[in-house]
Amino acid sequence: MGTYLSLDETPLSKGELYTILNNKNAQGKKASIIPIVKGTITIDVINILHKIPLERRNVVEEVTVDMAGSMNLIAKKCFPKT
């Protein structure tokens, strides 16, 4: 998974928003994108990310987010060591 992640939303097709969690250590290479979640609803994204075992999520030291409060909440709820 990596110790440094970024979390953001982006429109991928026809204006639909997706939430993307990216492994910054991979620098855009293989295993860079962890999941792409359709939508940006906080609880939906949290539920998807909670499917990643806690042991793997606890490796994460930092999650970079933008000013969206929902992304900050997702990071705090899913990556307790950040």
**Domain total of the chain:** 1
Estimate the crossing angle of helix 42-49 against helix 69-78, to 10 degrees. Answer: 30
User: Burial level of 35, CB count in 10 A (0-12/13-18/19+)?
Assistant: middle
Instruction: List the one residue out of 82, 39, 76, 78 whose CA is nearest residue 62.
Output: 82
Residue 40's pLDDT band (boundaries 50, 70, 90)? very high
What predicted TM-score, i.e. pTM, was given to this entire model? 0.87
> Where do we find the tokens 């793997």?
56
- Kindly state the percentage of the chain with pLDDT values over 90: 74
Pinpoint the alpha helices (H) of the chain.
42-49, 54-57, 69-78
Task: Give the structural domain span for 65.
Answer: 4-78
Is pLDDT of 30 > 90?
no
Whole-number Å distance between alpha carbons of 44 and 62: 21
